Amino acid sequence: MGTSGPEAPGRLQPLCVPLTERVFPGEPYSVSVLKEGYCRPQADGSFRADGTVTLVTGPTTVLVDTGGPWDRDFLLACLRDRGVAPGDIDWVVGTHGHSDHVGNLNLFPGAKLLVGYDFSEGDTYRPSPLARGLPVPVAPQVLVLPTPGHTGQDVSVQVKGTFAGTVLVAGDLFECCSDEDSWRDVSMNPAVQEVSRQEALRTAHVIIPGHGPPFRVLRN
């Protein structure tokens, strides 16, 4: 999503501005970042990483990603601080199946689970339109959208009607605000992911990425 260099035909290169806000209130749905994800290279060539965890509250309560299994107590404490018990979560959406994003699914056995394109309630798996390129409606203002590329079955959660505009909880569709072209290094299909990124930049006012702070999208 770089902002320098020649612009390819039809390719948006908007200005993306990091935000200090972690809560985006709205009516009837609000979005709160419970944990900001990170990715930190290490001297030995490895890297330390954890995924962003986001809570959508309103008539239906949605948890988007759960962090890694090392986040168990932290996640429960964050929910408790907001007056939310695991049994209060109606939907858990895993943006994709990597362990730093879906490491605590077992805390929510009563929720509807949507991990990538797989939709289940308990041990019952139900058809999902995501593989056909269609969204899953959680509520009129909350949609789960197919946004493949980082893996073959990535999804993002779109929340309309916040005071900040349309918020997209994007998982690793965007690593962070300033990922430039570095996201390509961890992409299963960069060409497909570029299409998904461009659609996100056209439609979202705020994007919550998988490994960094939220950012605002400024378009001409």
State the pLDDT at residue 115: 98
DSSP, collapsed to helix, strand or coil, labels residue 212 as coil
Could you report the per-residue pLDDT of 59-100, keeping only the tens digit for each? Answer: 999 999 999 999 999 999 999 999 999 999 999 999 999 999
Please determine, for residue 9, whether its predicted confidence score (pLDDT) is greater than 50: no
State the pLDDT at residue 10: 60
Segment 139-142 long-range contacts (CB within 8 Å, at least 24 positions apart): 139/29, 139/58, 139/59, 139/60, 141/28, 141/29, 141/58, 142/29, 142/56, 142/58, 142/60, 142/62
For tokens 């605590």, what's the residue?
A: 104
With respect to residue 129, please indicate whether it lies within any of the assigned structural domains. no
With respect to residue 62, please indicate whether it lies within any of the assigned structural domains. yes
Closest listed residue to residue 119, CA positions, set 142, 137, 100: 137
Distance CA 37, CA 42 (A): 16
For range 116-135, the mean pLDDT: 96
Amino acid at 151: T
pLDDT-based confidence at residue 197 (cuts at 50, 70, 90): very high
With respect to residue 58, please indicate whether it lies within any of the assigned structural domains. yes
With respect to residue 6, please indicate whether it lies within any of the assigned structural domains. no
With respect to residue 55, please indicate whether it lies within any of the assigned structural domains. yes
pLDDT-based confidence at residue 14 (cuts at 50, 70, 90): confident
Please determine, for residue 154, whether its predicted confidence score (pLDDT) is greater than 70: yes
Q: Mean pLDDT score of the chain, rounded to an integer? A: 94
**Residue 86: CB partners within 8 Å, gap ≥ 6?**
76, 79, 107, 108, 110
State the pLDDT at residue 7: 44
Closest listed residue to residue 30, CA positions, set 8, 2, 5, 62: 62
pTM: 0.93
With respect to residue 23, please indicate whether it lies within any of the assigned structural domains. yes
Let me know: does 213 contact 36? Beta carbons within 8 Å. Answer: yes
Number of domains in the chain: 1
pLDDT-based confidence at residue 13 (cuts at 50, 70, 90): confident
Task: Provide the residue range defining the domain that includes 57.
Answer: 15-121+135-218
With respect to residue 2, please indicate whether it lies within any of the assigned structural domains. no
With respect to residue 107, please indicate whether it lies within any of the assigned structural domains. yes
pLDDT-based confidence at residue 5 (cuts at 50, 70, 90): very low
State the pLDDT at residue 219: 85
The angle subtended at Cα 32 by Cα 35 and Cα 206, nearest 5°, is: 100
Residue 81: give its domain's CATH number: 3.60.15.10
State the pLDDT at residue 101: 98
Please determine, for residue 4, whether its predicted confidence score (pLDDT) is greater than 60: no
